[in-house]
């Protein structure tokens, strides 16, 4: 009987030791509050992962066929083509009317936001971006390049989500120092136009930029391009 009691005591002691070790591995400090808070923060930072990951049309670059293809009415398509370029989302929203379901429409078409000047609240127009991520967009200003945006926001979401965000934002470039890669990252600027941007360096004023680049594009396109560039004083 003594042997049986001794064995039972031994097994009980071993069991208690194993449970204690398991708990220690889960939380060596014996306090789960910090870990729970970190998990919560991580969840918040991933708030936009569930949003659709699709190509978003740039309002100012979409063709008539593109606009028809996303289900816009013929009247709205005509108005977009007539009124553009839209230099900000406010101008675009002004033609939509109160009936538009903007939360769904913005998944399909948008006017890219300037990462360095857009109000934090306006970043929440980007589908899937809530208070926390809008704050992070603003937190890392000023952005010198889109690569910096990828690096900083990539701390919170995966590459696919960062790429989705890039449909909705841009980083303005300094005309005299920006690399060709950074210029080509601007909405609707390809290799040929990037070459022309560099060709006329150094720029001494925005009037010079308008004069030189105006040789290749019309007034509407020139006004669209102006919002992407600046000259360091």
Q: What percent of the chain has pLDDT over 70?
A: 77
Q: Cα(131)–Cα(150) distance, rounded to whole angstroms?
A: 19
Which residues, including other chains, have CB under 8 Å from residue 36's CB and lie 6 or more apart?
A: none
pLDDT of residue 31 exceeding 70, the answer is no
- Is residue 142 assigned to a domain? yes
Q: Give yes or no: residues 162 and 178 share one domain.
A: no
Sole residue written with tokens 């990462």:
115
Q: Give yes or no: residues 178 and 233 share one domain.
A: yes
CA distances from 233 to 116, 141, 222 (A): 17, 19, 22
- Is residue 205 assigned to a domain? yes
Domain end residue (candidates: 111, 127, 151): 111
Q: Cα(71)–Cα(93) distance, rounded to whole angstroms?
A: 17
Which residues, including other chains, have CB under 8 Å from residue 171's CB and lie 6 or more apart?
A: 114, 115, 116, 143, 144, 145, 146, 148, 149, 182, 185
Q: Give yes or no: residues 167 and 222 share one domain.
A: no
- Is residue 226 assigned to a domain? yes
Tokens of residue 149, six digits: 């945006």
Query: What does the pLDDT average to over 167-187?
Result: 97
Q: Give yes or no: residues 161 and 193 share one domain.
A: no
Say what the pLDDT of residue 100 is: 87
pLDDT digits (tens, 9 = 90+) for 32-74: 444 334 344 434 544 444 444 468 999 999 999 999 999 999 9
Q: Give yes or no: residues 208 and 232 share one domain.
A: yes
Give the SS3 label for residue 110: strand
Q: Give yes or no: residues 97 and 85 share one domain.
A: yes
Say what the pLDDT of residue 54 is: 61
pLDDT digits (tens, 9 = 90+) for 146-156: 999 999 999 99
- Is residue 192 assigned to a domain? yes
Q: Give yes or no: residues 93 and 76 share one domain.
A: yes
Domain end residue (candidates: 122, 148, 171): 171
Say what the pLDDT of residue 99 is: 72
Q: Give yes or no: residues 193 and 141 share one domain.
A: no
Domain end residue (candidates: 151, 171, 191): 171
Residue 54 phi/psi, 5-degree rounding, is -130, 165
- Is residue 221 assigned to a domain? yes
Q: Give yes or no: residues 126 and 106 share one domain.
A: no
Residue 174 phi/psi, 5-degree rounding, is -85, 120
Q: Give yes or no: residues 96 and 117 share one domain.
A: no
For residue 85, is the peptide bond before it cis, meaning its omega torsion is within 30 degrees of 0? yes
- Is residue 134 assigned to a domain? yes
Q: Give yes or no: residues 123 and 87 share one domain.
A: no
Q: Cα(145)–Cα(136) distance, rounded to whole angstroms?
A: 16
Average pLDDT over the chain, rounded to whole?
Answer: 85
pLDDT digits (tens, 9 = 90+) for 110-130: 999 999 999 999 999 999 999
- Is residue 120 assigned to a domain? yes
Say what the pLDDT of residue 147 is: 97
- Is residue 97 assigned to a domain? yes
CATH number at residue 133: 1.10.150.320
Q: How many domains does the chain have?
A: 3
Instruction: Quote the domain boundaries for residue 196.
Output: 173-233
pTM of the model: 0.78
């Amino acid at each position: 009987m003594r042997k049986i009691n001794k064995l039972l005591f031994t097994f009980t002691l071993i069991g208690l030791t194993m449970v204690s070790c398991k708990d220690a591995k889960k939380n060596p400090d014996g306090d789960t509050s910090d870990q729970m808070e970190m998990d919560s923060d991580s969840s918040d930072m991933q708030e936009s992962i569930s949003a659709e990951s699709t190509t978003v049309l740039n309002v100012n670059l979409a063709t008539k066929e593109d606009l028809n293809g996303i289900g816009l009415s013929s009247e709205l398509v005509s108005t977009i083509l007539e009124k553009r370029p839209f230099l900000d989302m406010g101008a675009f929203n002004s033609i939509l009317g109160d009936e538009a379901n903007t939360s769904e429409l913005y998944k399909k078409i948008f006017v890219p936001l300037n990462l360095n000047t857009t109000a934090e609240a306006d970043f929440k127009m980007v589908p899937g971006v809530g208070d926390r991520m809008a704050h992070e967009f603003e937190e890392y200003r000023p952005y010198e390049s889109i690569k910096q945006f990828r690096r900083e926001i990539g701390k919170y979401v995966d590459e696919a989500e960062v790429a989705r965000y890039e449909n909705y934002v841009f980083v303005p470039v300094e005309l005299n120092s920006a690399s060709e890669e950074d210029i080509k990252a601007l909405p609707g600027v390809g290799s040929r136009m990037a070459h022309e941007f560099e060709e006329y360096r150094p720029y001494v004023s925005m009037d010079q930029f308008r004069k030189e680049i105006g040789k290749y594009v019309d007034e509407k396109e020139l006004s669209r391009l102006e919002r992407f560039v600046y000259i360091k004083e």
